Structure 1
Amino acid sequence: MNDRPPDAEVAPAPYPRRAYGWYVVFLLIVAYIVAFIDRGILALLVQPIKEDLGLSDVQMSWLMGPAFGIFYATLGIPIAVLADRHSRRNIIVIGVALWSLATAACGLARNYAGLFLARMMVGVGEATLSPCAYSIIPDYFPRQAALKAVGLYTMGQSIGAGIAFLLGGQVVLMVTQASGVDWPLVGTLKPWQMTFIVVGLPGLVLALLMLTIREPVRRGYLNQARSASGPARPVSETFRFLAGRWKTFGALFLGNSVVTTIGYSYFWLPSVFQRTWDVDAAQAGIYYGSVLATCGPLGVITGSKLSEYLYQRGKLDAPYTVFAFSIVGTLPFAIAMPLAGSALVAVALLAPAIFGLAVASATSSAAMVHVAPAEFRAQVSAIYLLVISLIGLFVGPPSVAMLTDYFFKDEMMIRYSLLVVTVVIGALGLTILLMGRSHYRASAKEAEGWHEK
C-alpha cells in the first residue's frame, strides 16, 4: 500500500550523463542501419532472384512488402507491451540476433516458399527495434534534447537504405562474374544467396554490443506520482488514450503513411532505372544509394534542427508543423521524378524528394513521441508503426507491381505505376495532415504538463 499523499511531489531521478545517452542513440542508429540493410537488400537482387526462381513482379513485391511486413507490423503491439513491463535493452538484443540469422537464412532458401518464410522471420526480429527505441530514447534526455535524439535515430533508415543499395550495386557486379560457391552441407550457393549471408551474419556482433546499454529510469508519466516499478498499463488503456485524441493520432498515423508508402514503393526504383533509362543494376544501386546516404541524413538533421529551433521559440507543435510542410515541398519532386527524360535528370529530382521524405520521417516520429506519455509510449509507438508499416508495405511495393502487371501489362511501364501511387497517396495524406494540425497543437499543449522542466 502506498502511504504517500495524493499531492506528494516525487523527486525526479537525474538524467544519465549526456555522453552516455548519445552513445545509446548511436548504437540504436547503427541497429536501424543494419535493420534497413537486411530489409532492403532484396530490392537490388530482384532480377537474379526472378530468373533463378521464375518469379513475377507481383511475387517479388510480396517478398518486399507483405512477407516482411505481416509480422513486422502486427507483432509491434505485443512487443511494446513487453517493453512497458520488461527490459527494453534485452528485447532489442534478442530482436537483432533473430533478424540477423533470418537474413542469413534467406541465402539458404531454395524456393519461393523458403524465401518467403525467411523474410517473415526478418520482420519478426525487426519488429522489436523501433517500439523499444522510441520508448527508451526520451528517458535519457530532457524534453528538448529528446526531440533531436529521436529525429537522429530515424536517420539510420536513410543511411541504412543508402548503404544497402550501394552495397547491393557492388554485389550485382559479382553476379555477372561468379556462377556460384560450393559450401559444405548446404551445397552450391549463387551470388544472390551469398549476399544475404554476408549481409546478415555481422548483425550478431551488434547484438553483443547492445548488451552495453543500461536500462534508464522511465520518465514523463501522466501521473507523476506513479513510479516505473508500478503496474504497467494494459493495452486497453492505451487505446482509450488514443481514442480520446483520435484526431491528433489519426492525422499523425495516416499522414506518415504517405512517407512509408512512397518510401517502400521506391524499392522498385532500381528496376525503374533499369527498364526506363537502360541503367544496369550496379549503376542504379550507386545512383539510388548515393542519394539516400547523403540527402537522407541531411534531411533528418535539418528536420530535427528546425523542430528544435521552433520548439525553443515557443512553438509547441514544432515537429508536426515541419512534418506537414515538408510533404508540401516533397511531392512536386516525387511526382516529376518518374517522368524524367534521362537517368541523370531523374537523380537530380530524386535528391530533393529523398531530402523531403527524410525531413518528414524524422519529424513525424518526433511528433508522435512528443505527445505520448511514458506509460503508453512504447505501445503508442508500436500502434503507430503498425499503421504506417501495414499501409506502407502492403500498399507501396504491391500496388506498383499490380499496376505494372495487371493494368499496364508491360514491365517497361513501371515508372507510370510509380507515378500513379505517388500522386494518389500523396494527395490523400497531405489533406489529412493539414486537417489535423489544430488538433495536434492542442495535444502538444496538454503534453507539456507531463514533463519535468
Structure 2
Amino acid sequence: MALQSEAVPHRAASGAWTWPASSRAWYSVVVLSLVSMMSNIDRGIVNLLIGPIKRDLHLSDTAISLLIGLTFSLAYVLFSFPLSRLADTRSRKVILTTGLTLWSLATMLCGLAQSLWQLFAARALVGAAESVKGPCSMSMIADLVPHEKLPRAFAIYQLGITGGMAGALVIGGILLSMFAGMPPLSLPGGLVVRDWHMVLLVTGLPGLLLALVMLVSVREPKRRDRKSAAAVPLREVLSFLGLNWKFYAPLFLSIAVASVESYGLQAWRPMFFERTYGWGPERAGPLLGGAILIATPLGLFLGTLLAEYLTKRRPQDALLVACLMSYGLSMPLLVAMPLMPNPWLSLASGFLGFTAWSMTAPGQNAAIQIVTPNEMRGQISALYLFSISVVGGGFGPTAIALITDKVFHDEAMLRYALSGFTLMVGPVILLLIFSAVKPYALAYQRMQAGGSS
C-alpha cells in the first residue's frame, strides 16, 4: 500500500463539500476509537503492575514513576512532531496501522524484560510508536464527519481513550488474578517470566489483530478545506500559532496542567486503594475499571448534549464554555475522593468526578479541530497531545510520587498527596480555560468568515 495520501480538496460537481457515506464514516470513527483503546490499555496496564514490578526490581515510588511516565513521554516527544508532519501529507491510515503494530509488539517486549533498563527500553518503544496515534486519528476524524457532528465523533473517540484506561484496570486485574501464585517460568536464553510478565505478554496480542482489521477495512479519507497537497513549512505553522496564541496557549496549558493531575491520579489510584483501604490490585482494578467504563460513556453523552445545546445558543464559544462548566463540576469531587472514610464512598466520589471530567472531551477536541487549518491539523494535534501525553504522562505520576516521598515522607500519606495536588491545580485549570474563551470566539468567527468567502 502506498504511503502517499490523497491530499487535495474534494468537491462534488455542485461545488459543495462531499463526505463519506455515513455508515463508512462512523465505522471508521469506531475503529479509530478501538485503536485508541488499545493504545491506552498498552500504555496504562503498567499502572496496575506497580506492586509486582517494585517487588521484583526493588524500586522506590519515584523510580517506578519514571518508568510509568517520563520514559514513555520522552520517546513520545522525540518522535511525535516529525511523524505528525508526515500525517499532514501522507497516508494516515498506513502510519497509524504501522504504529499500532509496533507498540503492540513493544508491549510484549516489556513482558520479556529482565531488568529495569530493558523495561525502560521497551517502554520507550511503546511511547515512540504511540506518538502517531493522536495526530493521525484526530486528523482523520475531522475529514470523516461534518463540523456540526464533530463533538459526537470525538465523544466516540474519547470513549476509546477512557475505555482503554478502564480496560487496563479491568483486564490487568483479571490477568493478575489468573497468574497469581504462578511460579517463575524459566525460558531459553536465561529469561525468567513472572506474573506481571505474563500480563504484558497477553495484553499486546489483541493490538496485532486490530492492526490487520484496520489495514483491510478502513479507507484513508479525503482531506477537506485544503489549499495545497504540499507540506506546510514549519515557519508557517509557527506563524499561525503566533497569530492565534491567545487561544492555543492558555487552552494547551490548561490541558497540560489537567493532564498532570489526571495521569497522577490514574497512576496512583490503585495503590491508593491498597495503602488506604487494603484493597489489592486484583480487587481494586476491576472495580475502578468498571466505574470508568460506566462513567466514561455517561460523561461523554452528557458532554455531547451540553456542547450541542450551547452551540445552538452561542455557537462562537459554546465548546469552551462547556469545558469550563464540566471541569468546574469535577474538581470538588476529585478533591474529596481520596479523603473519604471508606473505599465505597471514595469509589462513588471518583465515579461522579470522572463522569464530569469526561464531559470536557467532546467540546475540547472539536474546538481545536474546527479552528485549525487542515494542512496543520496533524502538527497542531501533536502539540495538543504533547500537552497530554508528554507533560501529563511524563510529570503526573512523578509529581504525586515526589509529594509522597519528599513532602510527607510516608507512603501511607498518598491520599493527602492526591487530594492536595488536585486542590492546588484545579483553580489554575479553570482560570486558563476561562482566558481562552474569548480568543476562541474570535478564531471561530474568522474561520466562519473564511469558509463563507
TM > 0.5 fold call:
yes
Deviations 1:250-298 (A, max 9, x none): 1210122243122201210000000011112211102211111110121
- The match for 2:251 is 252
Counterpart contact for 2:179–2:198, Cα < 8 Å? no
Which deviates more from structure 2 when the two are superposed, residues 50-59 or residues 353-362?
353-362
Deviations 1:89-127 (A, max 9, x none): 110011000100000000110011111111111011111
Counterpart of 1:195 (choices 195, 199, 212) is 199
Number of residues paired by the alignment?
A: 439
Change (3 A) 1:39 1:451: farther
CA distance in 1, matches of 2:162, 2:375: 29
Letter in 2 for 1:217: K
- The match for 1:265 is 264
Cα offset, 1:182, TM superposition: 4.2
CA distance in 2, matches of 1:386, 1:450: 29
Change (3 A) 1:301 1:235: farther
Deviations 1:32-68 (A, max 9, x none): 1111100000011111110101111001101111111
CA distance in 2, matches of 1:219, 1:312: 24
Counterpart of 1:18 (choices 22, 27, 41) is 22
- The match for 1:336 is 336
Q: Do residues 86 (structure 1) and 90 (structure 2) align? A: yes
Structure 1, unaligned stretches of length 5 or more? 1-8
Which deviates more from structure 2 when the two are superposed, residues 360-369 or residues 123-132?
360-369
Counterpart contact for 2:103–2:126, Cα < 8 Å? yes
- The match for 2:230 is 231
Counterpart contact for 1:256–1:360, Cα < 8 Å? no
CA distance in 2, matches of 1:100, 1:450: 42
CA distance in 2, matches of 1:29, 1:182: 37
- The match for 1:213 is 218
Letter in 2 for 1:254: L
CA distance in 2, matches of 1:30, 1:451: 32
Structure-to-structure mapping, 1:39-54, within 5 angstroms? 39-54=43-58
Pairwise CA RMSD of aligned residues? 1.8
Deviations 1:387-426 (A, max 9, x none): 2322212321001111111221111111111122212221
Deviations 1:193-221 (A, max 9, x none): 01111001221111111112211221134
CA distance in 2, matches of 1:333, 1:74: 36
Letter in 2 for 1:214: R
CA distance in 1, matches of 2:381, 2:20: 23
Q: Do residues 277 (structure 1) and 281 (structure 2) align? A: no
- The match for 1:3 is none
Counterpart contact for 1:68–1:123, Cα < 8 Å? yes
Counterpart of 1:140 (choices 134, 140, 144) is 144
CA distance in 2, matches of 1:57, 1:330: 27
Structure 2, unaligned stretches of length 5 or more? 1-12
CA distance in 1, matches of 2:156, 2:330: 20
TM-score by length of 1: 0.93
Letter in 2 for 1:235: L
Counterpart of 1:73 (choices 71, 77, 83) is 77
Letter in 2 for 1:215: E
Q: Do residues 310 (structure 1) and 310 (structure 2) align? A: yes
Letter in 2 for 1:213: V
SS of structure 2 residue aligned to 1:65: helix
Q: Do residues 109 (structure 1) and 113 (structure 2) align? A: yes
Letter in 2 for 1:329: L
- The match for 1:6 is none
SS of structure 2 residue aligned to 1:217: coil
Counterpart of 2:185 (choices 169, 176, 181) is 181
TM-score by length of 2: 0.93
Counterpart contact for 1:235–1:379, Cα < 8 Å? no
- The match for 1:397 is 397
CA distance in 2, matches of 1:313, 1:438: 16
CA distance in 2, matches of 1:185, 1:430: 53
Counterpart contact for 1:72–1:124, Cα < 8 Å? yes
SS of structure 2 residue aligned to 1:188: strand
Letter in 2 for 1:257: A
Identity %: 35
Deviations 1:123-168 (A, max 9, x none): 1111111101111111111211123212321111111111110111
Cα offset, 1:452, TM superposition: 7.6
Cα offset, 1:379, TM superposition: 1.0
Counterpart contact for 1:152–1:301, Cα < 8 Å? no
Counterpart contact for 1:252–1:368, Cα < 8 Å? no
Letter in 1 for 2:166: G
Cα offset, 1:320, TM superposition: 0.9
Change (3 A) 1:345 1:298: same
Cα offset, 1:314, TM superposition: 4.6
SS of structure 2 residue aligned to 1:85: coil
Which deviates more from structure 2 when the two are superposed, residues 185-194 or residues 430-439?
185-194
CA distance in 2, matches of 1:75, 1:122: 11
CA distance in 1, matches of 2:320, 2:132: 25
Structure-to-structure mapping, 1:284-433, within 5 angstroms? 284-433=284-433
Cα offset, 1:79, TM superposition: 1.3
CA distance in 1, matches of 2:208, 2:310: 40
